[in-house]
Structure 1
Amino acid sequence: MRILVIGGSVFLGRAIVEESLRRGYEVTTFNRGRSGEDAPGVTAVRGDREVDADLAALAEGREWDAVVDVCGFTPRVVAASARALSGHAATYAYISSISAISAWPAEQVDESSPLWECSPDAGPEDGDYSILKAGCERAVERYFEGNALILQPGLILGPWENVGRLPSWLRRIARGGRVVAPGDPGLPMQLIDARDIATFTLDQAVKGTGDRFVLTGPAGNTTFGQWLADCVDVTGSDAELVWVEDGFLSAHEVEPWTELPLWMPVGPEEAGTWGVVTAKAEAAGLRCRPVSETVRDTWDWLKDRDHAALEERLPSWRRHGLAPDKEARILGDWDAR
């Protein structure tokens, strides 16, 4: 099996590369060489997907069984890749996002739920992340002459995470002491490991599947309380989780999703966040490891690394987590309420 991964040096792309190599596939990566190092064993082709000449040079004289596009964020850029690689691969697997579904997170969604309106030729000025992802899906379906495999992941965790959600919690909890824990510890969640997405993606690519799948963990595969307790357990810290009510956090202007990663005040606009229907993907073979295993493996990857260097290379890491003085102020006000 010959696989081309557009991206492939960090997080989900790296998980796909490593799983491909583990299976003995021939792997080519195409990236600029800026976000991270390619895994040993790949054929690394340097180039910028926004440069037509680079795409033409990538495709010239090469063929693959499947392309996996993990870093397409602008429809017209993805369209250019789909056109350039048509005839050079049988399947184009595009990693989209559950955010491309217009009803999420307000409603329960599945593969039949409508997407945001967005042209397959749209540019970065034509919408936000969610809207543009929907346009990227349409670009693959319109311009790739072969099997269009559209994958819409939910909240992804795991080793090599470049977003910073789980690393932020692990780093904070590892420091110990009293930790602001948000909302209801019994809140059921749906989390998925990047490596499980990689396995499913490659399994479908081998079959030559042209279809779309929502990919996230089964409903209630952990709770907010359990996954933070897993963080305490794997770090071995003396952290004390102090559960603070949603309204209190909102009154203290805590930014949902970032200052306390994966937290948002529970309300009608978020009612479907953790209620995604995964039956179709499960019937097609999706299997998800326990969230506790993901937490453990991410800490094993993270604990001995140079965190300052990671923050320098991955700016989104710096956006996640409460500032120590703000956390102390919230805890003091919570105690005094």
Structure 2
Amino acid sequence: MRLLVLGGTGFVGGATVTEAVRRGWTVTVFNRGLHGTVPAGVHRLRGDRTEPDGLAALAGGEWDVVVDTWDGAPRAARDAARALVDAVDHYVYVSSGSVYADPAALGLNEDSPVVDADPDSVDGDYPQLKSGAERAVREAFGDRALVARAGLILGPGEDIGRLPWWLRRIERGGDVLAPGPAELPVQYIDVRDLAGWMLDAGARRLGGTFNAIGRPGQTTMGELLGACVAATGADVRLRWTDPASILAAGVEPWSDLPIWLPAGHPYRGLLERDVTRAFAAGLTCRSLAETVDDTWRWLREVDVVPPRAGRPLHSSIGLDPTREAAVLAT
């Protein structure tokens, strides 16, 4: 198989490249060449898809599958899809569950309403960017396009820092503010499972839109933090705290306490989506312990979470120790 990855050095793109190389595929990446590395044997084309003639390096190439991780202006996704429509058999676009219209109700499926977006636009918020890019890819490739609406993506290489923050916090030991209830469901996907499924689907020329994430309730906050304790071997006490107390203290779900979205939160539905279609199409997920253990091993190797796609590290991830201590004191 001949694979083209637009991007290829970030979190999802890097995992996709690594898995394709493991399978013995011929891999080409296209990016600006400003950050990151690729495995030996991977062909690297350079270009900036946002600039005039920025896709010139793709001219004359032919591939079986392209995987596109773009999260910028939909117009750039449109231009890439149009440029590749005769050069690629199948287009896989990595989208997001954020495209669903508010409020994010429980049980969202692929036919649920999405935010209105223009495939020709050059700006917008994250949901609009992803939704517009979806439309652009579908307009160019039709049934030859697969849209993978990922959700919370965890695993080695994570460049947001959600699971790494919990691992580092628990490593410090002591009393840890654990957002209750412990049985609150968490829905996520390991980046390696996402990459493998996308490659399988691309090889089979599977088209359509899929919620590419694990099953609802595949784990809980209690199991997740327990796995972090086991991986780090830290001496900690998880202080399970009522959500109302945490919210009253001004602690923000998802950013101050990563991964946590309490019941009743406007975006709670993004962690409880319907995945019937994706699992019927062959999606499988590894164990939570494997994801956490491998992320901890990777984090100790790199020490610092890498910046996302050349951007500054998301500095707002994680609760300040002083604020955490204040909440625990009450």
Which bin holds the TM-score, normalised by the shorter protein? over 0.9
TM-score, normalised relative to structure 2:
0.94
Q: Does 1:282 align with 2:257?
A: no
Q: Structure 1 residues 70 and 308 mapped into 2: Cα distance closer, same or farther (>3 Å)?
A: closer
Aligned to 1:85: 84
Q: Structure 1 residues 54 and 270 mapped into 2: Cα distance closer, same or farther (>3 Å)?
A: closer
Q: Does 1:143 align with 2:140?
A: yes
Aligned to 2:25: 25
Within 5 Å, which residues of 2 pair with 1:20-59? 20-57=20-57, 59=58
Q: Does 1:70 align with 2:69?
A: yes
Within 5 Å, which residues of 2 pair with 1:124-139? 124=123, 127-139=124-136
Q: Structure 1 residues 218 and 251 mapped into 2: Cα distance closer, same or farther (>3 Å)?
A: same
Q: Structure 1 residues 194 and 144 mapped into 2: Cα distance closer, same or farther (>3 Å)?
A: same
Kindly indicate whether the alpha-carbon contact (under 8 Å) linking 1:100 and 1:130 is maintained by their aligned counterparts in 2. Answer: yes
Once the two structures are TM-superposed, the CA of residue 231 in structure 1 deviates from its matched residue by 0.4
- Name stretches of at least 5 consecutive residues in structure 2 with no aligned partner: none
Partners of 2:173 and 2:15 lie apart in 1 by 30
Once the two structures are TM-superposed, the CA of residue 312 in structure 1 deviates from its matched residue by 12
Partners of 2:269 and 2:248 lie apart in 1 by 23
Partners of 2:305 and 2:19 lie apart in 1 by 28
Aligned to 1:60: 59
Partners of 1:137 and 1:299 lie apart in 2 by 33
Once the two structures are TM-superposed, the CA of residue 148 in structure 1 deviates from its matched residue by 1.1
- Give the AA of the match of 1:120: P
SS in 1 for 2:130: helix
Q: Does 1:243 align with 2:228?
A: no
CA RMSD of aligned residues (A): 1.9
Q: Structure 1 residues 165 and 268 mapped into 2: Cα distance closer, same or farther (>3 Å)?
A: closer
Aligned to 1:330: 327
Partners of 1:45 and 1:97 lie apart in 2 by 26
Aligned to 2:112: 113
Aligned to 1:187: 184
SS in 2 for 1:51: coil
Percent identity reads 45
Aligned to 2:298: 301
Aligned to 2:210: 213
Partners of 2:117 and 2:91 lie apart in 1 by 20
Kindly indicate whether the alpha-carbon contact (under 8 Å) linking 1:87 and 1:145 is maintained by their aligned counterparts in 2. Answer: no
Partners of 1:310 and 1:55 lie apart in 2 by 25
Q: Which moved more, 1:228-237 or 1:249-258?
A: 249-258
Q: Structure 1 residues 271 and 157 mapped into 2: Cα distance closer, same or farther (>3 Å)?
A: closer
Once the two structures are TM-superposed, the CA of residue 313 in structure 1 deviates from its matched residue by 6.0
Q: Does 1:95 align with 2:94?
A: yes
1:283-314 Cα deviation digits (max 9, x unpaired): 11000111111001111111132327769966
Once the two structures are TM-superposed, the CA of residue 204 in structure 1 deviates from its matched residue by 0.8
Q: Structure 1 residues 86 and 12 mapped into 2: Cα distance closer, same or farther (>3 Å)?
A: same
Which runs of 4 or more aligned residues in structure 1 lie more than 3 Å from their structure 2 counterparts after TM superposition?
Answer: 308-314
Q: Does 1:201 align with 2:198?
A: yes
SS in 2 for 1:53: coil
Provide the aligned length of Structure 1 versus Structure 2. Answer: 330
Kindly indicate whether the alpha-carbon contact (under 8 Å) linking 2:164 and 2:305 is maintained by their aligned counterparts in 1. Answer: no
1:189-220 Cα deviation digits (max 9, x unpaired): 21110111111101111011221111111121
Partners of 2:125 and 2:277 lie apart in 1 by 28
1:17-38 Cα deviation digits (max 9, x unpaired): 1110011000001112334222
Aligned to 2:169: 172
Kindly indicate whether the alpha-carbon contact (under 8 Å) linking 2:159 and 2:305 is maintained by their aligned counterparts in 1. Answer: no
Partners of 1:309 and 1:68 lie apart in 2 by 22
